[in-house]
Structure 1
């Protein structure tokens, strides 16, 4: 197997696993999908619409997000925002993330000694 192919696949897996946490953290204020894609990309989180929209629908079906249409602008837009349940899940995921990052950093620090 080619090194670049293996690395690309693993980076994609890592990104998929962290995207939920990033999305939940950003949707504490209402945002429409394209705005969310841009916001994540500006913050260094690679997000594409064809990945993000199915994720938004899944998180909504899990009652982590709620959506509403706003039709007062030039074109209708569907805005998403975390629910109280979504905020709680986000807080708990962040705790797991912090613990995981700390553990991984410890592993690499020990490795470099």
Structure 2
């Protein structure tokens, strides 16, 4: 497990961090965890940048799928499916390097379950 992790960007649904020791990027998003080398991360960024969201939504317009935008994996029969909001959130994580760890969180950004006794 990486010991020297630095957060690059963070949103409510995920976080992008980099280990300064092993140089791996750690991207968590909803229930997914990606670990990228520098080259793999740049390739993923390029894929997201060129991803045609309108094309995929139109291609699957008659589908009952709530997530219509695929991201292929190296396993031929496995695709990660996203909706437009999730793709936009992923792009915020991957392309935003202005993370400020000292900023004050807004109440809606804090994940906390409150129970009344």
Q: Same fold (TM over 0.5)?
A: no
Higher relative contact order (CA 8 A, sep 6+): 1
The structure richer in strand per residue is 2
